[in-house]
Structure 1
Amino acid sequence: MRYLFINSVYGVGSTGRIVAEKCRQLRSEGHECAAAYGRACADNGAAQLIRIGTKADYLVHAGIVRLLDLNGYGSGAATRRLLRQMERFRPDVVWLHNLHGYYLNIGLLFGWLKEHPQIRVLWTLHDCWAFTGHCAHFSAVGCDRWRSGCGDCPQLRAYPKTYGPDRTQAYYRYKRACFTGVADLTLIVPSEWLARTVKQSFLSGYPVEVRRNQIDRNIFRPTPSDFRARYGLAGKTVVLGAASVWTREKGLPDFCRLREKLDSRYAIVLVGVTEKQKSGLPAGILALPRTADAEELAGIYSAADVFVNPTHQDTYPTVNLEARACGTSVVTYDVGGSPESAGGEHIAAEGDIDGLAEEIRRLTEPAAVLL
C-alpha cells in the first residue's frame, strides 16, 4: 500500500520522530511511504520526502496569523503544489498529524480529501487544536468554550499567537466545516483522556482509536552514569524535572514553590532551562540546559530518585514514559493524559504543591510516611 504522511516536521521533534519511525516500520513491511512536511526535516531514508512550501511561505503564513489569527488560511500556492504531488503519488492512505504550524491550507487539503472518498484518512491528534477556534491546549486556563463554538478567547496570545481581533467563533465554524464530512476518517489519540475529550467535540462522529505513544526502550532503560558525582549530589534525594521548553504551563513556577516545601536533603534538578530562566530560579535548584543526547538523558533519569512533572496541560507526555523506563517513579498532576503515562499511582491535584511534596516523600521516605 501507499502511505502519505503530512506533519509540520519530519524526523525531528516528538511528532516528527513518530512519523519517521512509522515510515520506517511500514517500509520494512513492504509498503511505500511519502512524507510531506512544512519545516524541519531529518531524513532517515524511509520515505519519499515532500517539502511543503518555502521559508518565505512559512513566514507569510505566520504573519497572517499574527495579524489576523487566520491559521490554516495561508499557504495556498504551497498546498496546491502538494495536492498535485499527492495526485502523482496516488496514496491509498493519507495519514495526517499536526496540521497547524503555518505551512498548510486546511480548506484546500480537506476539499481534496473529500473529493477522493476512496482514500482512507487517518489523523493522529497530538493536541486539541483540531476542534478549537484557536488554541492547541485549554486545560491550563480551564476553558471549555470549544464545546459550544468558542469566542471571547482567553488565549489569543498563546500558540498560535495573534495580536489581531478575536476571530475564534468564525474559525471554529470554518474548522468544523473543513474537518467534518470526510468519507473514511479515523482519529488516533495517545490517551483515554483525549479520546473522551474528542467525543465531546464536533469530531465526535468519527471513530477514535487510542494508540499510546511509544519510546525507544533500547535507549531509555536503567543507565549507569556519573551524573550524581559530577554535580555533587552524593547523599541527596534527587528530584528531577525535564522539558524541551519550560513554561508556566509546563510547571516551572511550581518547581520554585516546591523548593520551599522540601528540606535540604532534597536536590531539585531541572533539565531544559535557558540561561534567562536560570537567573530567575531560587537557590537550591540545579538548572541544566536541554540535551539532544537521548542516552545522556537516560543516564540523568536513572540517577534521579523521583521524576516530577507538574504540567498543567498535556495529552500523554513521553517524559513520563522515559523516566519510568529508566526505573524512576513519576509524580504528576491529575491533568489531561499525564496520569496515564505516569502510571496513575502518585498523582496530586492540579496546583497542589503540598500534594506533590507528599507524593515525593511517599516515594523516597516510605518508612517515615508509614510512621
Structure 2
Amino acid sequence: MKILMINVVCGIRSTGRICTDLARALEEQGHEVKIAYGRENAPQEFQNYAVRIGTDLDIMMHGLRARLFDGCGFGSRKATQRFVEWIKSYDPDVIHLHNLHGYYINLEELFNYLRTCGKKIIWTLHDCWAFTGHSAYCDTVNCDRWINGCHDCPIMNYYPASFIDNSPKNWIKKQQLFRNIPRLTIVTPSNWLAGLVKKSFLSEYTVRTISNGIDTKHFRPLESDLRACFGLGNKKILLGVATAWDDMKGLSDFYRLSSMLDNEKYQIVLVGLTQKQIKKLPSTIIGIKKTNSIKELASIYSAADVFLNLSYCENYPTVNLEAIACGTPVLTYDTGGSSESAFGENVVQRGNLDEVYKVIENFEISMPTVDVADLDYKRSIDSYLKELYMRN
C-alpha cells in the first residue's frame, strides 16, 4: 500500500514527528510512505520520505497574503498545482492530511483534487483551524462563532495574524471546499477536539479519536548535566517546553509565576525560545533555544522536578506525554485536551496562577498511574492501521 501524508513540516516538532513515527511503523510493515511538507528542512534520517511542496519564496509570498488579506490557505496556487500533478503520478492508495496551515498549500487546488480523486482520505486535525474562518485556537477566548459563521474575529493579532478580518468569507470558503469529500474520515487526538468538530460544518464526517503517542525508546529517564551546567544545586526545576513561545503558550504566565516563587527554592527553565526572547528573560528564568535533538530534550525532561504546561491553546499536547515518559510529573492548565494527555492528574483552571503557586509550594504533584507502554506511538499506529488504513 502506498501512503501519502501532507503536513507543514517533516520529522521536526510535534506534528512532524507524529508523521515520521507513523511512516516508520508503516514502512516496517511493508508499506511505502511519502511525507509532503512545506516548511524548513526534513532531518537527514527522514529524507527518504520527504517531498517538498513549493519553495521558501512561495511561503514568503503566501505569508504576505495572509498578513495583508487574511488569506492563510489561499496562496501557493502554482506550487500546489505542481504538487497535485506529482500526487497523480505517485498515485497513493491513502492520502493522510495533517496541518494544512503554515502558508505552504492552496486549499482550493488541493480539495478540488481530493473531491474527485477517489482515494481513501484521512484528515488528522491538530487544532481548530479547519473549521474556523481564521484562528487555530478559538477556545483561547471561548469563541464559538465558527458554529454558525465566523465574523468579527477577536484574535486577529494571533497566528495566522492579519491586518484585516476576512473570517466571514474564509469560513464560507472552507465550508464549500471541505464538505462532501468522498471517503474522508476525520481523526482527532483528543475527545475535546472531537466534540468541537461535531458542532462544526465538518460534522457530516465520521470522527475517530486516536490519541497521539511518542517514541518511548527515546523519551525515557536519562542522565542529565542540566543542574551542573547552570549551577542549580538542589533547586526544584520547573520546566516548560514549546516549539514557539508567546503569550498563548503561557510565556507571560511563566514571567508572573517567576516573580511569585522563592527563587532560592525553585528554578524555571524554558526550552524553545528564540535568542531574542532569551535576552529579554528576567534573571529568574533560564532560557534554552529550540533543539531538534530528542536525546537532549529527553535529558532536560529527566532533570526537571515538574513539567508545567501553562498554555492557553492545546489539543492533545505530546509534551505532557514526553515529560511523563521521562519520569517527570505534569502540572497543566485545563486547556483543550491537555488534561487528557496528563491523564486527569494535577489540573488547574486555565489562568489561575495562584492555584499553580499553591500546588507547587505544597508539592501536591503526583505521577499519573499510567503504563509507559500506553504512551508509545505504536499504540496510535495500531489504531490507524486497524481502524482506518486497512478498512475499505
TM-score, normalised with respect to structure 1: 0.92
* 3-state DSSP of counterpart to 1:35: strand
Q: Which residue number corresponds to residue 227 of structure 2?
A: 228
Amino acid aligned to 2:273: V
* 1:272 alignment partner, SS class: strand
Deviation at 1:171, TM superposition (A): 0.7
Q: Give the letter for the 1:183 counterpart.
A: P
Residue 345 (str. 1) matches residue 345 (str. 2): yes
Q: Residues 287 and 79 from structure 1, CA distance in 2 versus in 1: closer, same or farther, beyond 3 angstroms? A: closer
1:77 aligns with 2:91: no
For 1:63 and 1:220, the matched residues in 2 are separated by: 38
- Give 1:57's aligned residue: 58
Cα distance per residue 1:177-225 (max 9 Å; x no partner): 1001011111111111111111111111111111111112112111122
Amino acid at match of 2:246: T
Residue in 1 that maps onto 2:265? 265
Aligned length: 364
Asked if structure 1 preserves the Cα contact closer than 8 Å seen for 2:194 and 2:208, the reply is yes
Match of 1:180 in 2: 179
Amino acid at match of 1:125: L
8 Å Cα contact 1:32/1:47 also seen in 2: no
CA offset at residue 28 of structure 1? 1.7
Q: Does 1:239 align with 2:238?
A: yes
- Match of 2:63, SS state, is helix
- Asked if 2 retains the 8 angstrom alpha-carbon contact of 1:3 and 1:94, the reply is yes
The residue type equivalent to 1:138 in the other structure is C
Q: Does 1:120 align with 2:124?
A: no
Superposition pairs for residues 359-370 of structure 1, below 5 Å?
A: 359-363=359-363
What amino acid is the match of 2:104?
Y
Partner of residue 102, structure 2: 101
Q: What SS does the aligned partner of 1:115 have?
A: coil
Q: Is the 8 A contact 1:306 1:363 kept in 2?
A: no
1:59 is displaced (CA, Å) by 2.2
Gaps of 5+ in 2: 367-392
Q: Residues 69 and 234 (structure 1 numbering): CA distance in 2 closer, same or farther, change over 3 Å?
A: same
Structure 1 residue 48: Cα displacement:
5.3
The Cα offsets for residues 83-130 of structure 1, whole Å up to 9 and x where unpaired, read as: 2222222221111111112221211211111112x3110001111110
Q: Partner residue of 2:133?
A: 133
1:281 is aligned to 281
CA distance 1:46–1:64, shift in 2 (3 Å): closer
Measured at CA, do residues 40 and 277 of structure 1 come closer, stay the same or move farther in structure 2, by a change above 3 Å? closer
Matches within 5 A, 1:319-334: 319-334=319-334
How far off is 1:168 after superposition?
0.7
Distance 1:90 1:350, change over 3 A: same
**Per-residue Cα deviation, 1:40-95 (whole angstroms, up to 9, x for no partner):** 34254575543322233222222222221122222222222222222222221111
1:284-339 CA distances to partner (integer Å, 9 max, x unpaired)? 32233333332222222112211111111111111111111111111011110111
- For residue 18 of structure 1, give the secondary structure of its aligned residue in structure 2: helix
**Unpaired stretches in structure 1, ≥5 consecutive residues:** 367-371
**Distance across 1 between alignment mates of 2:149 and 2:290:** 38
Contact 1:23 1:47 in 2 (8 A): no
Which residue of the partner structure matches residue 254 of structure 1? 253
Cα contact 2:219–2:322 (8 A) shared by 1: yes
Secondary structure of 2:249's match? Answer: coil
Kindly provide the amino acid, as one letter, of the partner of residue 76 in structure 2. Answer: S
| Alignment RMSD (CA, Å) | 2.0
Change (3 A) 1:54 1:289: closer
CA distance in 2, matches of 1:292, 1:34: 21
Partner of 2:380: none
What amino acid does structure 2 have at the position aligned with 1:198? V
Once the two structures are TM-superposed, the CA of residue 157 in structure 1 deviates from its matched residue by: 2.2
Distance 1:37 1:229, change over 3 A: closer
Bigger shift: residues 333-342 or 282-291: 282-291
Partner of 1:210: 209
Whether contact under 8 Å (2:220, 2:327) holds in the other structure is yes
SS of equivalent to 1:254? helix
Shift in Å at residue 347 of structure 1?
0.9
Output the amino acid matched with 2:113: W
Distance 2:166 2:145 in 1: 13
Is 1:31–2:31 an aligned residue pair?
A: yes
